[in-house]
Amino acid sequence: MTIERSLVLVKPDGFARGLTGEVIRRIEAKGYTLAALGVFTPTVEQLQAHYAEHEGKPFFEPLVEFMSSGPVAGIVIEGDSCIRAFRVMAGATDPTEAAPGSIRGDLGREWNHNVTKNVVHGSDSVEAAQREIAIWFPDLA
Ligand code: DAT
Ligand code: MG
């Protein structure tokens, strides 16, 4: 058993479409628990820190702009190997490629010929999860 925590975000597209409940339903149905839950209107500074690894890439600025365009739901999930498991549940980054059954495969839309609006974020490593949880839920870190 490797009990982990992961930072999940329901991005502005998913939040605006009322998909927060569906994302939480899938997390709970899979057996993971919620360690923290909140609604945020992220600042540009917060998003630049969250996506620091992507700074300088062509999609970085549109990504930060999109992510600051409306409220997001932030969820810290907890459970055995939940970091990898949520990545599998989310599906491939590009909703067009994401397998049916995954969150992005079932619910994602490809808008404006890019993959930015892909419903959810999930941490991709233990280090990333710790760093991201500290950004969104400093009291928990
Ligand atoms: P993931 O969210 O699957 O971990 P990532 O960390 O590589 O993907 O990228 C972060 C986000 O940036 C991703 O969820 C959507 C956006 N993005 C990634 N690649 C992109 C691209 N080629 N064009 C537009 N947006 C992109
Ligand atoms: Mg990523």
In this predicted model, what pLDDT tens digit does every residue of 65-91 receive, in sequence order?
999 999 999 999 999 999 999 999 999
The phi-psi region of residue 138 (left if phi > 0; otherwise alpha if psi is between -120 and 50; otherwise beta) is alpha
Q: Please indicate whether residue 121 is annotated as part of the active site.
A: yes
Ligand 1 atom 7, closest CA: 93
Closest ligand (CA of 118): 1
What is the CATH superfamily name and number for domain 3-140? Answer: Nucleoside diphosphate kinase-like domain (3.30.70.141)
The two tokens of residue 21 are 């409940």
Which protein residues are within 6 Å of ligand 1, measured from CB? 54, 59, 63, 93, 114-116, 118, 121, 124
Tens-place pLDDT, residues 105-129: 999 976 656 799 999 999 999 999 9
Domain ranges of the chain: 3-140
